[in-house]
């Protein structure tokens, strides 16, 4: 007569199958809270991220600043009309930008036939001319626009003591709402007027906030300032201007806490734009009510 032999089981829940006992697994095994949480709540649908009561909701900007809205609604359309050029003049300007200036040495012109010039870097160009970028065909996307503003100040007192930089760093941080970076120099030579300073790059909403304070508060209150030189620019649409130390105290952020800043220093403001010529950059800044001095006659051609 054959007998039924049972094999030993090591796990308690397998023994419960033979003894017909429903032993719950959680008494013998440990599960993480995440493993127990997901099966019971998997039927609840996940809320979209654009709803305020969602866990993944991130509140963004609800409105634009005044100068930013003014550029998109009014100034961008006017710039397309003021900077329009006919196709013939546009093609001449593009062809002129494609011409590469001559190098410093004439021997470079025979680099293709000269065996000693192979695998060597191309030397610098002749003169101090910078090769400008080749502009694309004009459209609504090529209208000049303000990209960033760089505020820079240099303090010659920092050659004596580095603690003098704190006043400039605190002042730039107050007027721009951004933390400046210190400009280090390799050697400090007082005869060459080489001195340390600090600068800050502003982009986005802080850029338009700084421009609003500069145009609406600081510039109207400045004395003996006739405007930006009409010949300023780097031939690529970037305009720079300088301000005396008295202009720094006209900002409302510093005027209310004037005693906290022991030293006032002058500063430079550089406007980086998407314009390809200085003429387009000046039109963009004049749209923001920045005055230019009527100096020498500037040709309307797009070579300047």
Inter-CA distances, 134 with 122, 126, 180, 235, Å: 20, 20, 33, 12
Only one residue has tokens 């040709």, namely 299
How far apart CA 75 and CA 20 sit, in angstroms, is: 83
pLDDT at 198: 84
How far apart CA 264 and CA 247 sit, in angstroms, is: 9
**DSSP class of residue 301?**
S
How far apart CA 136 and CA 76 sit, in angstroms, is: 17
Residues 6+ apart with CB under 8 A from 160: none
pLDDT at 38: 47
Task: Give yes or no for a contact between 198 and 166, defined as CB atoms under 8 angstroms apart.
Answer: no
12 is written with which tokens?
A: 């308690």
18 is written with which tokens?
A: 């033979």
Task: Give yes or no for a contact between 213 and 256, defined as CB atoms under 8 angstroms apart.
Answer: no
Sign of CA dihedral 107, 111, 114, 120: positive
pLDDT at 129: 61
Only one residue has tokens 């049972």, namely 6
Inter-CA distances, 255 with 136, 247, 288, Å: 45, 10, 24
Task: Give yes or no for a contact between 135 and 275, defined as CB atoms under 8 angstroms apart.
Answer: no
**pLDDT tens for the 304 residues of the chain, in order:** 445 444 444 445 554 454 545 555 555 555 555 444 444 555 567 778 888 888 788 877 778 888 989 998 899 999 988 888 888 888 888 888 887 766 655 555 555 666 666 777 666 666 656 667 788 888 888 889 999 999 988 877 776 777 778 888 888 999 998 998 887 766 555 555 455 678 899 998 999 999 999 999 999 998 888 888 888 888 888 999 989 888 988 998 888 888 888 888 889 899 999 998 888 999 999 999 999 887 665 555 555 5
So where are the chain's domains?
Answer: 71-116+136-293
pLDDT at 284: 93
pLDDT at 91: 87
Interaxial angle between packed helices 205-213 and 165-176, expressed in degrees from 0 to 180 and rounded to the nearest 10: 100
pLDDT at 202: 93
- CA angle 48/49/50 to nearest 5° reads 90
Question: Would you tell me which CATH number, out of the four given (3.40.50.2300, 3.40.30.10, 1.10.600.10, 3.30.1440.10), belongs to the domain 71-116+136-293?
Answer: 3.30.1440.10
Q: Which of 205, 204, 168, 203 is nearest to 183 (CA)?
A: 168
Neighbours of 181 (CB within 10 A): 12
pTM of this structure: 0.69
Task: Give yes or no for a contact between 277 and 303, defined as CB atoms under 8 angstroms apart.
Answer: yes
Residues 6+ apart with CB under 8 A from 24: none
How far apart CA 292 and CA 230 sit, in angstroms, is: 6
In DSSP terms, which residues pair with 125 in a beta bridge?
103
């Amino acid at each position: 007569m054959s007998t039924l032999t049972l094999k030993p089981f090591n796990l308690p829940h397998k023994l419960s199958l033979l003894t017909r006992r429903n032993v719950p697994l959680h008494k013998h095994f440990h599960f993480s809270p995440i493993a127990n949480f997901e099966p019971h709540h998997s039927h609840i649908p996940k809320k979209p991220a654009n709803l305020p009561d969602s866990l993944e909701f991130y509140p963004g900007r609800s409105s634009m600043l005044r100068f930013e809205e003014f550029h998109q609604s009014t100034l961008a359309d006017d710039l397309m009309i003021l900077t329009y050029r006919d196709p013939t003049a546009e093609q001449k300007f593009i062809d002129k930008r494609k011409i590469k200036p001559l190098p410093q040495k004439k021997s470079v012109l025979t680099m293709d036939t000269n065996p000693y010039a192979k695998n060597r870097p191309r030397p610098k160009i002749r003169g101090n001319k910078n090769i400008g970028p080749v502009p694309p065909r004009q459209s609504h996307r090529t209208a000049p626009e303000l990209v960033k503003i760089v505020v820079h100040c240099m303090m010659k007192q920092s050659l004596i003591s580095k603690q003098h930089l704190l006043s400039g760093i605190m002042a730039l941080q107050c007027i721009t709402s951004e933390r400046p970076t210190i400009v280090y120099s390799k050697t400090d030579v007082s005869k060459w007027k080489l001195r340390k300073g600090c600068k800050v790059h502003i982009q986005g909403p802080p850029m338009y906030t700084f421009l609003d304070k500069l145009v609406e508060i600081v510039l109207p209150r400045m004395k003996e300032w006739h405007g930006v030189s009409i010949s300023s620019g780097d031939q690529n649409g970037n305009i720079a201007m300088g301000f005396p130390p008295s202009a720094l105290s006209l900002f409302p952020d510093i005027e209310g806490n004037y005693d906290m800043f022991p030293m006032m220093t002058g500063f430079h403001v550089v406007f980086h734009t998407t314009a390809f010529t200085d003429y387009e950059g000046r039109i963009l800044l004049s749209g923001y009510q920045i005055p230019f001095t009527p100096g020498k006659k500037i040709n309307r051609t797009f070579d300047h």
